[in-house]
Chains A and B, each alone.
Chain A
Amino acid sequence: MSNGQNGAELRLVTPGMAIGPLAGKRVGSGTIAQNDTIIATRLGWTKEFNNTVSVDPINSAYMPRSGDLIVAVVAEVRNNLWFMNVNGPFQGLLPMSLAPWKVEFGAARQHMGIGDVVLARVQEVDECHNVVLTMKGVGLRRLTQGTTVSVPINHIERLRGEGNATVQRLRDAADSRIIIGENGRVWIDGNAEGTAWARQAIALAEASGHKTTFEAELSALEQNAPKKGDA
């Protein structure tokens, strides 16, 4: 969070709290301008970057954006499309034309049923929050093994780390495949010990991801990581 921070005091703000005078600054996400004062609209940490003041929320719902890589769960199946739970306020729609298979009309159920988990990408989001997903693309597929865990979406960046360094550490320590969906769902595929350790590490990120102690706690947890080939 401190990346790009330039001078603004980093502090926890609650909705309605004055962050500071507008004074030529731009209001970013999580803030509004009122009577020449920047007001926080969310509970979170203030951030100033490129003369824009914003609030990094501690909690927030996932709002899909075009291009997001997400782990979605099939919620409903129709003849020619699937409705997917994307861990957000609205279901996403996956039409058969954007599925990775050639699907006959009426045969959608033969490919994916309710509860199936997929790796998909957000193709399009309109102003009414209609979300269209696609599974056409490299690596996009139905996830037939492994497990998924949820993390608050504002902890995803922390879980990824600088240039995916943290998630790579988790992958190496757990000897598992780990994919972090932008929607706060993490897919883990590995042996039992590795998966259990990765779950622990993710739970740590969830509980302490916003704290300064996170890095030290994660390093301590790495000492207990299962040795490769233990399974």
Chain B
Amino acid sequence: MGGYGDVRLLREDGLRLDGRKLDEMRPMTIEAGVLPAADGSAMVTHGLNVAVAAVYGPMEAHPRKIQRQDRAVIDVRYNMAPFSTSDRIRPGFNRRSREISKVTAEALESVVLCERYPRSKIRVEIEILAAEAGTRCAGLTAAAVALADAGIPMRDLIVGVASGKVEGIVVLDLDKAEDNYGQADLPVGILPNTGEIAFLQMDGDLSPDEYNLAMEYNFKAAAEIHEIMVDALKRRYEGGEN
């Protein structure tokens, strides 16, 4: 993330290598209810990323030692499929997937009304089928839609979105080259209705001004993604009035 001086990530006309503007997101689609066996599910395609999330529960928390007497626990399992990248990924948990599972669970716990289901567990499975930078954000967005689809009470949806810095310039929604050769990455989980931040990570360095600009881009993108999320949920139940 320190940047590579000889790799050009911006074109001379000021656009990015894939033709996007600095504050332009990759195309995104969301579909709710893609897995019939799950209580709730969603698929997010964001650029070349494909993330599927499935929610099961609430169910009795096992083993009993993970139970909390006053609230539900959210058990998130983020996994990248072996075929999701050009280099085969060794199947199973690794340090990165454990970390992303943990931060995603903590972000979701801040929006789910866990106190409604004491002693129970809500299982969230996030499977990345194709990866092109920004999978944790795509996974978080998919998980939020899947939780809503499962009828889990939440005080807001949560949107995963990232900005970063390439060639000293702040850009929204890094693609693979920008993520690999850029100078900073700032993924956040935003509650679009309240404007709260449920999760924030930063890789690389940003000055205060750059950080503010990156967050401005993130909030703008979060509003766009939120509309797509709501539309996906409404589409699933369209014609359902009355």
Contacts and interface: CB of A to CB of B under 8 A. Distances in A.
A59 B156 CA distance: 17
Contacts of B233: 12, 14, 43
Given A14-B229, A90-B119, 20 more contacts: A1-B242, A14-B234, A16-B155, A16-B193, A17-B230, A34-B155, A42-B151, A43-B148, A43-B233, A57-B151, A58-B240, A59-B40, A61-B39, A61-B57, A61-B117, A89-B58, A89-B60, A91-B60, A210-B240, A211-B242
A129 interface: yes
Interface residues of A, number: 34
B118 to A, nearest CB: 6
A16 B151 contact: no
Going nearest first, the 5 A-B pairs with the smallest beta carbon separation are: A16-B156, A59-B151, A15-B154, A60-B151, A16-B193
Nearest to B58: A89
B242 A90 contact: no
A12 B241 contact: yes
Given A43-B151, A89-B60, A15 B156 contact: yes
Nearest to A30: B153
A213 interface: yes
Nearest to A12: B234
Contacts of B60: 89-91
B31 interface: no
Q: Is the interface of A mostly helix, strand, loop or mixed?
A: loop
B81 to A, nearest CB: 27
Contact of A41 (B119, B155, B191): B155
Interface in A58-72: 58-61
A45 B151 CA distance: 12
A12 B237 contact: yes
27 contacts: A2-B242, A10-B241, A12-B240, A14-B148, A14-B229, A14-B230, A15-B156, A16-B155, A17-B193, A42-B151, A42-B153, A42-B154, A43-B148, A58-B237, A59-B39, A59-B149, A61-B39, A61-B58, A61-B151, A89-B59, A89-B60, A128-B118, A129-B117, A129-B118, A129-B119, A210-B237, A211-B242
A90 B154 contact: no
Contacts of B156: 15-16, 39
Nearest to A55: B153
A32 B155 contact: yes
A128 B156 CA distance: 26
B94 interface: no
A212 interface: yes
A196 interface: no
For A12, A14, A44, which residue has the most chain B Cβ atoms within 10 angstroms? Answer: A14
